Amino acid sequence: MRIDGRKNEQIRNVKVTRGYTKYAEGSVYIEVGDTKVLCNVSIEDKVPPFLKGKGEGWITAEYNMLPRSTGVRKVRDIARLKVDGRTMEIQRLIGRALRSVVDLKALGEKTLWVDCDVIQADGGTRTTSISGAFIALVDAVNKIHKEKPFKVYPIRNFVAATSVGIVNGEKVIDLCYEEDSTAKVDMNIIGTEDGEFVEVQGTGEESPMTRQELNELLNLGEKGLKQMITIQKNALKMDALWIGTGE
């Protein structure tokens, strides 16, 4: 039995609140167990210098853990005058994950800024950020599409993320912090509704993993991605109908 009574292949309870903030074009507050993240997407009618004049857009992300999102107060990056390595890695991951399912040429010369702020952390903050940010991204893109339809709807597929690992000899999904901190193997898996992997990050924390263990963890991760994408669909309802149509 796991710490919170879940089955090994069961993700934590997920709650999604759309339109959480007033001003962002897309805003989602997502709760996965005790991990809580606010995801805002803002739209700018310009692109970075390296894309100017190329007729395509860009998606970039910023990620932050608020000072009391953890048991001990975390110092703000601004106080240290630099972004720490973990933060930089995660925000790049979020950007890559979202760009993987968006036709940037269809988007046109626009930048979508994705801000993920962790209100409370209990493991899986990066995977929660990706899953929530996708919903907020859909809302932001739909706002444009309803006002002035794209020639080709730019979001091609769903993308979500989850974690898997080996804890006390058991292969489990969607690890909370206590499980994550004692895991023999810890992996983050990002994938699409079509079963394609966007990124797999896996580490043998205490000892190497076998090829069989890797395959079993990937299979378990696919189950978790399907569960999360179903949750995304239920949250978006009719606003998900354009995804993948190209219309």
> Tell me, what CATH number does 90's domain have?
3.30.230.70
- Specify the pLDDT at position 77: 77
pLDDT tops 70 at residue 110: yes
Write the pLDDT tens digit of every residue in 155-212.
Answer: 999 999 999 999 999 999 999 999 999 999 999 999 999 999 999 999 887 788 999 9
For range 19-44, the mean pLDDT: 97
Q: How many domains are there within the chain?
A: 1
- Tell whether 3 is covered by a domain: no
- Known binding residues: 86, 124-126
Dist. CA 207–CA 118, nearest whole Å: 30
Task: Indicate whether 81 pLDDT > 90.
Answer: no
Pairing of strands 170-173, 111-120: unpaired
Residue 9 lies in a domain: no
| 224 belongs to a structural domain | yes
Tell me if 29 is assigned to some domain: yes
Q: Quick check: helix, strand or coil at residue 90?
A: helix
- Per-residue model confidence (pLDDT) at position 74: 85
Q: Does residue 113 belong to any structural domain of this protein?
A: yes
Task: Kindly report the pTM of this predicted structure.
Answer: 0.95
Sheet of 170-173: strands edge to edge?
Answer: 170-173, 159-167, 185-192, 197-204
Place of tokens 């007033």: 22
- Return mean pLDDT, the chain: 94
Average pLDDT over residues 78-99: 86
Provide the pLDDT for residue 220.
96
Q: Calculate mean pLDDT across residues 120-148.
A: 97
pLDDT at 160: 98
**Helix-helix angle 125-147:85-99, to 10 degrees:** 40
Q: Establish if 8 belongs to a structural domain.
A: no
**Average confidence (pLDDT) over 135-141:** 98
Q: d(Cα 69, Cα 156) in Å, to the nearest integer?
A: 33
146 found inside a domain: yes
- Residue 80 pLDDT more than 90? no
Q: Which domain holds residue 141?
A: 14-240
- Residue 79 pLDDT > 70: no
Residues tagged in the binding site annotation for phosphate: 86, 124-126
Q: Within a domain: residue 245?
A: no
Q: What is residue 72's DSSP assignment?
A: S
Residues 6+ apart with CB under 8 A from 114: 39, 40, 41, 59, 60, 61, 62, 94, 95, 98, 133, 136, 137
Return the percentage of the chain with pLDDT > 90, whole number. 83
